[in-house]
Each structure stands twice: as C-alpha cells, then as structure tokens.
Amino acid sequence: MQRPTALLRQLLVAEVIQMYLTQQIVAIKAQMRKEQIRILEQITSKEDITITYAWGQKQDQAVFMRKMVDAEGASRAKRTGVVP
C-alpha cells in the first residue's frame, strides 16, 4: 500500500502533465490552421492509422504504423514518468 501523500503527489504531477499536453495540442492545432492543414478523415485499424488531409488546395493521405506511434507515445510517457 502506498502512502496517501505519495498518491496525492502522483495526482498533482499527472494534472500538470495533462495541462501541458492540453496546451501542446492547442498549439499544434493552431500551427495546423496557420499552415492550412485540415484532417478530413482518420481511420484507425489494428495495424495502421490512415489520415486523409487537405493542405491548402491539395489533398493527400498519410499512413502511420500503429506500433510505431504507440511505441513513441509510450517512450515519451516513460521519460516523463507518467508510465512506470
């Protein structure tokens, strides 16, 4: 069993990280608007994440390997201490 203060500290740290991530998402979306990048469709499957997007007047598609995106997210979370 963990001490109550340890759990409270974990909660406070997680809330700070959540606030930072929220700010980062807002900044990324603002940058996308500035560069006229719009997501038209996102299809997530077990293997891939396929995004159809418009960039200015052009339309294109990007495919990201799900395992690579998950691994990068997990790695960043571990470095920040979010995930043990």
Specify whether the backbone of 40 is left (phi greater than 0), alpha (psi in -120 to 50) or beta: alpha
Per-chain mean pLDDT for the chain: 92
Q: Which of helix, strand or coil describes residue 74?
A: helix
Identify the burial level of 48 via C-beta atoms within 10 angstroms of its C-beta, where 0-12 means exposed, 13-18 middle and 19 or more buried: middle
Q: Is the pLDDT of residue 77 over 90?
A: no
Rounded average pLDDT over 30-35:
97
Q: Given this model, what pLDDT does residue 42 score?
A: 98
Q: How far apart are CA 26 and CA 33, in angstroms?
A: 11
Q: Is the pLDDT of residue 84 over 70?
A: no
pLDDT in tens, 34-57: 999 999 999 999 999 999 999 999
Q: Given this model, what pLDDT does residue 70 score?
A: 93
Q: Given this model, what pLDDT does residue 76 score?
A: 85
> 63 near 48, Cβ under 8 Å?
yes
| pTM of the shown model | 0.78
